[in-house]
A and B are shown apart, each in its own frame.
Chain A
Amino acid sequence: MNWATVSFIIYTLILLAIGIWSYRIVERVPIAKYEEEFYAAGRGLGGVVVALLIAGGLASAGTFVAGPGMCYAYGYSWVFINNMQTFINLMFLAPIGLMVGMVARRVNAGTYLDMFKARYQNKAIIVILAILVTVFLLPYMATQFVGAARVISQMTGIGYFGALALGSLVVLVYCVLGGMRGTSIAILVQGIVMTVGCIILFIGTVHYAGGFQKSSEILAGLDITLLSPTMGGVFSAPFSFSIACLIGYFVIGMPHAMLGALTYKNTRALKRGIWMGGIFVFLWTFLLCMSGTIGRSINPGLAVADEAGPWLAMHVMPGALGGIVLAGIVAGIQTTVAAMAIIIASSIAKNLFKELKPDVSDRGLKSASRWTMGGCIAVAIGLALQQPSLIQWIILFAIGGLEAATFGPILLGFLWKRGNQWGAIASICWGMIIYALGSTVLPQLQVGGMHQSFVAIVSSVIVYVIVSMATAKPSDEIVQTFWGARTQA
């Protein structure tokens, strides 16, 4: 057993202990309050946890595994593109965080779809979104498990299936037992491990490479386009801008980011969640991506670029430190999976199940929540057994799909009183159709080399506005709930 394995097992045992501890906390909560505790951690999370919840949830294997891999393959151009995600917390929490915090308390919303239910009061929207969230997030979760399993396998020597079990079962334990409470406690440990792991990897890589100057000269000798912001024209400005839209302006459409907005304690936590998130995401992204590019000057011969991070952790630093980096990379992936599992489980068990069976008891809902959560993670693990090779494309596809469906109904739903259920349904359907066409038979929709989601998202917003204007205004009750001042009774 090597040092990396020992470090990783210690980290895993800590998470298991957190799972059991949070289970005991959740079980002490009265059954009537269980739902709010399991899905929203009692709406009492502070700034650091909120920052980590959104940043860790959105920065997935695409940042922690594919990030260094893409930068290894495409040089500093991908560092530049990945840096555009630095302000994801700001771009999510500032536009709608205050409204979500206020309205969620008014209507007692504990889940993502509870907010849609309160805003649009339409069963079809809940059912469609529950299905879309599940369809897009399950494969997304599976790619996270694949990324984690590959890293664990490479660094510890354990086979793929053993590594998959090691990386995924612990998430199953602390999510199913502790729900949002377990996730929020675990994420503090994971946030520290992720940040320390990234710093160690970066320092070790730069030191091993002999400094920036030497690595830049080697990279220039290998391929001068590695030093170009466009990789010699491979990544055009419109393409980079469309990625900036996906991970910046449109990030409101990512369902699992809603957890932070639903659970923060007060506006002090909101503010800290915003700026601390900026610091965390910048550190993770910049340090990992720079390590990937500089790593190419150390070993330009890796057959699989995604192996750059684990390879560096194993070769440029002592074993125990490599174990911390391993734990950091896997922690970055596990935070994403946990956030997604809570969103899917709440969509199915709380919203879909309750729509289909309105008379379900609190005890029945409690049981359904845990079984659904366990089932979702088990399905994702099952999908991960297939070992898909193109993780990054599946991730980008899922992000684009989710944002094409929900960006308009969320943003305009909170900011525009005139928006209504018909606008939301039309926007969701239009976004999905255009996204499907742009991804398959109509590549012309990738205007100017932009990602296919760009046209789908922008046009779905226009459809939302047109259809809302052409149909009846939302009810006074909705307007009063979302925008009205509450006067003394």
Chain B
Amino acid sequence: MEMKFIEDPRVKVSRRLWAISWIFYSAFLAFLMGLSYTMGTEPYIWGLPRWVAIGNIVVPVVFVIALIFVAEKLIPDLPLTDEEERGKGGKE
């Protein structure tokens, strides 16, 4: 009799992380490129062209800070070995 395949719950988490990372990076690129191409040079901000100050300083800093929260909140603490996984009942 053929055994029914049971997917490891960590696989689902992994697929979700892939989707989160691609969405996060796409949002970053959209802001980085969108603002850099549309802000223009003047008036200068902090002595730098406006698109540099906003697109190349503010946007990356905001996204780097956001990444800390995304990584810490959206990535669950999971066991990596099957022994630990069985020990916790295979739950996320």
Contacts and interface: CB of A to CB of B under 8 A. Distances in A.
Interface of A: 76, 79-80, 83-84, 86-87, 90-91, 94-99, 101-102, 105-106, 211-216, 227-230, 237, 240-241, 244, 248-249, 266-268, 270-272, 274-275, 278-279, 282, 286, 414-415, 479-480, 483-488
Contacts of A102: 8, 10, 14, 80
A220 to B, nearest CB: 8
Given A90-B24, A240-B33, A275-B68, A267 B8 contact: no
Contacts of A86: 28, 60, 63-64
Interface residues of B, number: 53
Task: Give the top 5 A-B pairs by smallest Cβ distance, nearest first.
Answer: A212-B47, A213-B47, A94-B21, A95-B18, A486-B82
A211 B67 contact: no
26 contacts: A76-B52, A80-B36, A80-B56, A83-B56, A84-B29, A86-B60, A86-B63, A87-B21, A87-B25, A90-B67, A91-B21, A94-B75, A95-B22, A96-B18, A212-B47, A267-B76, A267-B77, A268-B77, A271-B75, A275-B72, A278-B63, A286-B56, A479-B5, A483-B7, A484-B6, A488-B86
A229 B51 contact: yes
A76 B9 CA distance: 45
Given A87-B28, A105-B80, A484-B7, A282 B64 contact: yes
Contacts of A268: 77
Given A76-B52, A106-B82, A216-B48, A96 B32 contact: no
Contacts of A98: 10, 13-14, 17, 78
Contacts of A213: 44, 47
Contacts of B60: 83, 86, 282, 286
B86 A212 contact: no
Contacts of B13: 98
Contacts of A480: 5
A274 B20 CA distance: 13
Interface majority SS on A: helix, strand, loop or mixed?
Answer: helix
Contacts of B9: 485
A105 B81 contact: yes
B8 A483 contact: yes
Contacts of B25: 87, 90-91, 248-249
Interface string B49-62: 10110011100110
Given A94-B21, A213-B47, A229-B37, 20 more contacts: A76-B56, A83-B32, A87-B28, A87-B67, A90-B71, A105-B80, A227-B49, A229-B36, A248-B25, A271-B72, A271-B75, A275-B72, A278-B67, A483-B7, A483-B11, A485-B6, A485-B8, A485-B9, A486-B8, A486-B85
Contact of A216 (B7, B18, B47): B47
A86 B67 CA distance: 11
A414 B14 contact: yes
B77 to A, nearest CB: 5
Nearest to A101: B80
A394 B91 CA distance: 47
A270 B68 CA distance: 12
B82 to A, nearest CB: 4
A212 B49 CA distance: 9
Given A102-B8, A414-B14, A76 B49 contact: yes
A454 to B, nearest CB: 14
Nearest to A251: B25
B75 A267 contact: yes
A100 B47 CA distance: 46
B59 to A, nearest CB: 8
Contacts of B11: 99, 483
Contacts of A486: 8, 82, 85-86
Contacts of A99: 10-11, 14
A267 B41 CA distance: 43
B71 A485 contact: no
A471 B76 CA distance: 36
Nearest to B80: A101
B14 to A, nearest CB: 4
A266 B29 contact: no
Contacts of A211: 47
B56 to A, nearest CB: 6
A426 B62 CA distance: 41
B52 to A, nearest CB: 5
B41 A212 contact: no
A275 B37 CA distance: 27
